[in-house]
Amino acid sequence: MSTNFNEIIKGFFWGVGFVIATLGGISVYALTIAAEVDSGFKELVSNKVLDSTSDVSNDYKLTLSDIFKENGRVRITAELKNISNESIYAGGVIASTFDENGKFVGNCSGKSDDIFIEPNKSSYIDIHCNLLRPQASRVHSVELKFNWL
């Protein structure tokens, strides 16, 4: 009877040892090999995003139409033109505003009312800036940048 009990205890400890060894192996795998795969995947996605972003600049022509300042408010109009041969997503625009000395004042954002822009067509964007009155009075120039929203 004690031999069977000893065999059961021995088997139990062998099983516990096997579980600990298996969990240790999985942990080592997760911390080394899976981390490398994750890092490689992130780098691949990052490179793909950079390629896509450079493609975007080849598909759009973004032009400032005008800057309106009235009653302490700033409104900017812009044209987003599709210069590719296929229908593309319209997205939005970030307008960075600057004073006469080129010093940054604030960012404004606007989006197109269109969802897609047909080839060689334009979408017109009305950007209302949410700037404080002292900031709005300093706005002299604008730089535009496409935004995926």
Residue 41 to residue 47: CA distance in whole angstroms: 10
SS3 content of the chain, % helix, strand, coil (to 5): 40, 35, 20
Q: What fold, for 60-147?
A: Immunoglobulin-like (2.60.40)
Q: What pLDDT is stored for residue 46 in this prediction?
A: 54
pLDDT score of 109 more than 70: yes
Q: What residues does each domain of the chain span?
A: 2-56, 60-147
The pLDDT mean for the chain works out to 82
Read off the pLDDT of each residue in 118-128 and give the average, rounded to a whole number: 92
pLDDT of residue 43: 63
Give kind and range of the element (H or E) at residue 123: strand 122-129
**3-state secondary structure at position 42:** helix
Are 66 and 109 spatial neighbours (Cβ–Cβ below 8 Å)? no
The pLDDT value recorded for residue 54 is: 47
CA atoms within 13 A on the CB side of 18: 6
The 10s digit of each residue's pLDDT in 43-84 is: 655 555 444 444 555 788 999 999 999 888 999 999 999 998
Which one has a higher pLDDT value, 69 or 6? 69
Quote the pLDDT of residue 76.
95
C-alpha closest to that of 125 among 110, 106, 104, 143? 110
Range list of H helices, 60-85: none
Beta bridge partners of 69: 74
Task: Tell me the backbone φ, ψ of residue 57, rounded to 5 degrees.
Answer: -65, -25
Length reported for the chain = 149
Give residue 69's pLDDT: 92
